[in-house]
Amino acid sequence: MTDLTEIKLDADCKVNWDFTFAFLALRLWLGVRALFVGIQKFGAYKSVAMPLLDPATGQPDASGVMVNVNVKSYALANYAGIPVALRDKFAHEPLFPKFALVAFDRMLGPAFILTGIMLIIGLGTRLSLIAQGLLFIALTVGLVLIDQNDGVAWLGIHIGLIAGAFLLVEHNRFTVIKKW
């Protein structure tokens, strides 16, 4: 009786689909996570005045009362790689040079978007995993410098997921370029 999770392609080659699908799920999760983290860097909330709606009729209130509603929008002009509150903390950290802060701020969003897309489509999977690992390590160093230990723990979980992906990468079957 054969195991349904293993298919023999020839006498020496056996594909274990459990590991393949485990890696695919991990690859897609890390890719989607990185893609949307990068996209969020281009989002901002804007306060917009809108008429108060009557709950019974759904029509604007007859008195003309306006309420402020926060509306999120995405645009290149909204880009902030490092949130303003954290950027101010980094600016006061003597171990973090200003030029490094500016460079990291500019490249963070695009790097997450690029590595996310690469992982999702399977283009240079190992390279994109290495790049994400380096991004998470750099973010960890920054958060340690400004004493944001909760964020460090979350980044540690991401590093663990990347390490798990590297353990399963040999089962990477659905790729554009498998070698890297």
Average pLDDT score, the chain: 86
Report, as ranges of residue numbers, the positions in the chain whose pLDDT lies below 70: 1-15, 178
CA 130 to mean position of chain CA atoms:
14
Q: How many residues does the chain have?
A: 180
From the list 81, 70, 71, the residue with the least C-alpha distance to 39 is 81
| pTM listed for this prediction | 0.79
pLDDT at 15: 64
Whole-angstrom distance, CA of residue 69 vs CA of residue 105: 29
Cα–Cα distances (Å) from 13 to 7, 9, 149, 172, 179, in that order, read 9, 6, 46, 15, 18
Whole-angstrom distance, CA of residue 137 vs CA of residue 159: 8
pLDDT at 75: 92
**Residues near 139 by Cβ (< 8 Å), separated by ≥ 6?**
151, 155
Per-residue pLDDT tens digits for 22-31: 999 999 999 9
Per-residue pLDDT tens digits for 132-162: 999 999 999 988 988 888 889 999 999 999 9
